[in-house]
Structure 1
């Protein structure tokens, strides 16, 4: 008979504390078996063939040691990873927070699949990532796969996959918290408590932040309607992990968040909020199992102010959406040479918008709109990682059935009369994708890898049905959009010439067919359209050098991206996709001794890029430097100083025919951390 008991604290790098499987007392003549140690709060082991796709890992020390305290800024350590705009989640419009990799940009939707413990994080309606709700202190690490196709991740990973893993029991002290005060009356408070409960543990955490913000408008363009980019948001998370037996655990999570921001003009307010819940069963036995189910409720509001009259032009007052999905993955016991993954996954998104258009002369409503629909994917996959000595072969295939249904667009006059009533035909289809890769240890310090892959993405409800205005430009939706389809290949080498030195080089070629772009039709009108393709060739380099307490991590990406277009979009042919820099680099130098003060500094460089599809407006290159210093006062309490954009570099985030928005200026923080 088996039973679980909680042992004393086990000191170790991976398990603090752990849970021991105890047997009934054996006969005195029999030896006592050693305990089995279970690490709670993680998923299944990473397959051995993962490195064939050129992954990059960010550890917990880096996640919790960034000057801004924001996950989107830490992710920029992976050169080539970017949001649609250069603003972070304090001053950007939430709907512009799409994430992409390898210059496969063109609009604000995420082309990278962002997962938290296997759960997709993209907003079900818009496709943006709620970065303010993804607190670095709650995470144990991040793995970024640039390219790689869909595979077992699920549909939507056309540019790559960003896997966020929650902090495990090993990462979490009983009590953890921090309080910071910064420039422009900024405040940031985080707190977490993680007690052991029964056969597992519970983590309750929260973050609140606010700030008076900065002027995104340059001084020479400010008018009486310009205001600071104020922000105020909070999130709360409850995560519980319980061991069912020596190899099985149940993980549950609830997340609630609220986010309010003002962008540029008085009254240009936006908000986003969400309630997420997930339940996950992980079994590490001979038949490994990962079963996951989740539900997401989200909403978004946004008020658009005219840049000429400075009056309300559009009130996007309600955009409720729901995401429901799940995944089951099985790993049957087939011997040590093979790791086979078999599974199914599904995701459904449904949502609608309600908005009112206003006359910027009279201030009265001119039209009321209601639009929305449903999208869904259901897929099955199989993958095999085959280890042959120093050679690992990996490959897999998946098939997905996708649907786009219940699409509609209604517009009513101020009197309530129905002036437009579009009901769009339901669509469905089947998409087959696959990927193959190989990695070989040529010598003790040289690994060679190669991979080829395909993927696809269903248009978001936002792209299909929601028009939007960044005054004075109106961008129309397009209910007839086709799926985006990726084909890609890459080769790379990973070198470890000396202890503590690791260098990675990757050359790649990606083609995103039927890429969705915001295509200019007139100077004040754009529409979402499928262009023939976005083709990108590039080189990525990473380096890690560590000696004692000193470590340097650097990353560089060169992307040669061009649009292939014909027909109504022919003017875009050969041009660089909007918001896609050719050069991106990042480097972090850190001094982290076992005891005493720690220091780190991060230098980032983003090259010039175009604001729009016609290459008429340029965002100049920008270089920023940030630093963090931590001085322990006691074993559990430390003073922390943080500095963003130390030299107050000008970072242009938007350029609409000379109308400029700016990114975060120099920002200084002082705070205390309890751990």
Structure 2
């Protein structure tokens, strides 16, 4: 199946395709099989209505960016509609099910089991997650439990690195695109003894497009130029016939310019993880990781076009790990027991400037930061009773927010001020339960209920930000968000090669963190009583001969429950009611291949008071492949082919636009 397939076809997940053979007769040693994947999915996974994006679709993105591919799953959204070439990195939070616009991620994004969110901001470094390096993506809309479940209030996006059988010895590509853009990538993946090593890199840059509408441009307005690179080293070494050691290291750096000359941002990171997998009678998944990230950003005044703020340094560190055990409890049960922990620390150093004076003097120096720690334990059991599968899990988390502070000093020698915020800690208990009933080979019914929570990020607690003309204040008193949700669905396979799915859901996010308007130019992050989201999600996929079609639609009726506030009953910011995606592909085994993707996002609002509208948008992307000789393919890609105007920000009429028509031509080589 090309494109999106339903997760109840569990064999789509790579770990299930590599079962270990037992020892042969006479005690012969079983063959060593290196996969580079995690443990198999538990049989109750389909109860939570996951959607799978396969490797073919990951390689067929017109933009070559993972956030665009994730748009195939209706209901996925970032804080803004911009991709990782023209968005401020700190605004690239991921969420699902229209639970409200927030620059931090309400969705837990994992790469080979490692949480990818920035330790300080909570955004996802999408530019470092290259689709060609991945095997599959599984998106679960709805609260999670299990490992690292403390951040999965809107769902989980699990990315798995490509496995040994999916990686050619060598691959490389070179593309040239509109506005003098270039994209170069290469990978080398030789066998290493009985294991695997893969080294890959990607560099892309472009002069960028004008994010500012033509009638709002001034002399200081410049295109959104970008220049970024990432490199990834992954090694898998067998330890026995049923166990292996996996190592991954990723380095990335990303430079962007947004709207005005000098409004430059830089994000960078160095991540490393080591993972032990055992598929023996006692299955084990042990993981440890470390992340070092940094971010800087210069804000330019839109009236004087001088520097008003230099967020010069935001170093942060993330350290964590998990241990999951699956003891042999019989063929009808899959029991998961585990513990996990995440630690995050970060500092913000910024300098304020007087942009109204030609000398542009520095006025204030600010330093803020803090630490967070979450330690959790979880247990989950999947019980197969004939055609019925029951699943249920619980987890307990001890969280703490500590050593928070804010300091401000005058650059001219005035008195310094500062605040040390009180340490906080508490317990949070969450759980989920679900059932799948296979009424026949063609019909599966499912239902699930769940709870979850998310800590406010260090960014939300301690760092204010400015997107002219709005200043958004931090709030050190924020409390964790807490989710309750239920859903029910049906999965159909009416004929071979066709899958259909429908899910109805109700989610309530209590103490939701929102940017609340205090005055026309000031907002503050605050907990509101709740955001209530309910709706329907439809997914379909099918193929006939060389043709494949996948489609996804989400209707989300989301409202803010905030008695006594002006926005009570309003739609949360950045939450469209309708979203849809469809991809039609013609992919014969030999010869040219074509695919086109249509995406629609309904109208949404920039702010909590519904005063600034982002109109709906319909875009079309396409990609064509023409094999030239063995291992060499000519590739043409087109983004937003009909040049739809996509408004990504609207603050009182001051607008930013998304990617216009962008054309690419390039060559891909494998061997």
Alignment-derived partner of residue 476 in structure 1: 473
C-alpha separation between the residues in 2 aligned to 1:544 and 1:416?
66
Alignment-derived partner of residue 459 in structure 2: 462
Alignment counterpart, residue 189 of structure 2, candidates 191, 194, 211: 194
Q: Please tell me whether residue 635 in structure 1 is matched to residue 635 in structure 2.
A: no
Q: Please tell me whether residue 410 in structure 1 is matched to residue 407 in structure 2.
A: yes
1:34 Cα offset (Å): 8.8
Q: Please tell me whether residue 435 in structure 1 is matched to residue 432 in structure 2.
A: yes
1:565-601 Cα distance to aligned partner (Å, 9 max, x none): 135xx11110110000000000000111111111100
8 Å CA contact retained: 1:318, 1:354: yes
Secondary structure at the residue paired with 1:665? coil
Q: Please tell me whether residue 554 in structure 1 is matched to residue 531 in structure 2.
A: no
Q: Please tell me whether residue 268 in structure 1 is matched to residue 268 in structure 2.
A: no
Alignment counterpart, residue 567 of structure 2, candidates 557, 564, 572: 572
C-alpha separation between the residues in 1 aligned to 2:460 and 2:269?
21
Secondary structure at the residue paired with 1:38? coil
Structure 2 counterparts to residues 391-410 of structure 1, below 5 A: 391-410=388-407
1:591-618 Cα distance to aligned partner (Å, 9 max, x none): 1111111110000000000011110000
C-alpha separation between the residues in 2 aligned to 1:89 and 1:276?
19
Q: Please tell me whether residue 596 in structure 1 is matched to residue 597 in structure 2.
A: no
Alignment counterpart, residue 364 of structure 1, candidates 351, 361, 364: 361
Alignment-derived partner of residue 176 in structure 2: 181
8 Å CA contact retained: 1:324, 1:347: yes
Alignment-derived partner of residue 619 in structure 1: 614
Structure 1: gaps spanning 5 or more residues: 1-12
Alignment counterpart, residue 524 of structure 1, candidates 521, 525, 528: 521
1:489 Cα offset (Å): 0.2
Alignment-derived partner of residue 5 in structure 2: none
Alignment-derived partner of residue 10 in structure 1: none
8 Å CA contact retained: 2:209, 2:659: yes
8 Å CA contact retained: 1:247, 1:285: yes
8 Å CA contact retained: 2:20, 2:242: no
Alignment-derived partner of residue 646 in structure 1: 641
1:382 Cα offset (Å): 0.1
Alignment-derived partner of residue 230 in structure 2: 235
1:452-488 Cα distance to aligned partner (Å, 9 max, x none): 0000000000000001111121111000000000000
Secondary structure at the residue paired with 1:572? coil
Q: Please tell me whether residue 351 in structure 1 is matched to residue 385 in structure 2.
A: no
Alignment-derived partner of residue 6 in structure 1: none
C-alpha separation between the residues in 2 aligned to 1:253 and 1:107?
30
Alignment counterpart, residue 379 of structure 2, candidates 382, 387, 404: 382
Alignment counterpart, residue 511 of structure 2, candidates 514, 518, 532: 514
1:522 Cα offset (Å): 0.6
Alignment-derived partner of residue 607 in structure 1: 602
Secondary structure at the residue paired with 1:571? coil
Alignment-derived partner of residue 327 in structure 1: 322
1:116 Cα offset (Å): 0.2
1:395-448 Cα distance to aligned partner (Å, 9 max, x none): 000000000000000000013444321000000000000000000011221100
8 Å CA contact retained: 1:14, 1:39: no
Alignment counterpart, residue 331 of structure 2, candidates 331, 336, 342: 336
C-alpha separation between the residues in 1 aligned to 2:190 and 2:570?
55
C-alpha separation between the residues in 2 aligned to 1:356 and 1:473?
18
8 Å CA contact retained: 2:460, 2:475: yes
Relative to structure 1, the CA distance from residue 523 to residue 581 in structure 2 (aligned partners, 3 Å threshold; closer, same or farther) is: same
Alignment-derived partner of residue 444 in structure 2: 447
TM-score after normalising by structure 2 = 0.96
8 Å CA contact retained: 1:437, 1:450: yes
Alignment-derived partner of residue 152 in structure 2: 157
1:220 Cα offset (Å): 1.1
8 Å CA contact retained: 2:408, 2:418: yes
- The CA RMSD measured in Å over matched residues stands at 1.8
1:14 Cα offset (Å): 7.8
Structure 1 window deviating more from structure 2 (112-121 vs 39-48): it is: 39-48
8 Å CA contact retained: 1:591, 1:599: yes
8 Å CA contact retained: 2:34, 2:244: no
8 Å CA contact retained: 2:506, 2:532: yes
Relative to structure 1, the CA distance from residue 77 to residue 599 in structure 2 (aligned partners, 3 Å threshold; closer, same or farther) is: same
Structure 1 window deviating more from structure 2 (54-63 vs 304-313): it is: 304-313
1:151 Cα offset (Å): 3.1
8 Å CA contact retained: 1:154, 1:345: no
Structure 1 window deviating more from structure 2 (449-458 vs 99-108): it is: 99-108
1:106 Cα offset (Å): 2.8
Secondary structure at the residue paired with 1:233? strand
Alignment-derived partner of residue 4 in structure 1: none
1:208 Cα offset (Å): 0.2
Alignment-derived partner of residue 5 in structure 1: none
Structure 2: gaps spanning 5 or more residues: 1-12
TM-score after normalising by structure 1 = 0.95
C-alpha separation between the residues in 1 aligned to 2:545 and 2:26?
42
C-alpha separation between the residues in 2 aligned to 1:650 and 1:625?
12
Aligned residues: 655
1:323-342 Cα distance to aligned partner (Å, 9 max, x none): 00000000000111000000
C-alpha separation between the residues in 2 aligned to 1:450 and 1:19?
29
Secondary structure at the residue paired with 1:633? strand
Structure 2 counterparts to residues 244-263 of structure 1, below 5 A: 244-263=239-258
Alignment-derived partner of residue 500 in structure 2: 503
Secondary structure at the residue paired with 1:170? helix
Alignment counterpart, residue 77 of structure 1, candidates 72, 81, 89: 72
C-alpha separation between the residues in 2 aligned to 1:314 and 1:269?
11
Alignment counterpart, residue 60 of structure 1, candidates 48, 55, 77: 55
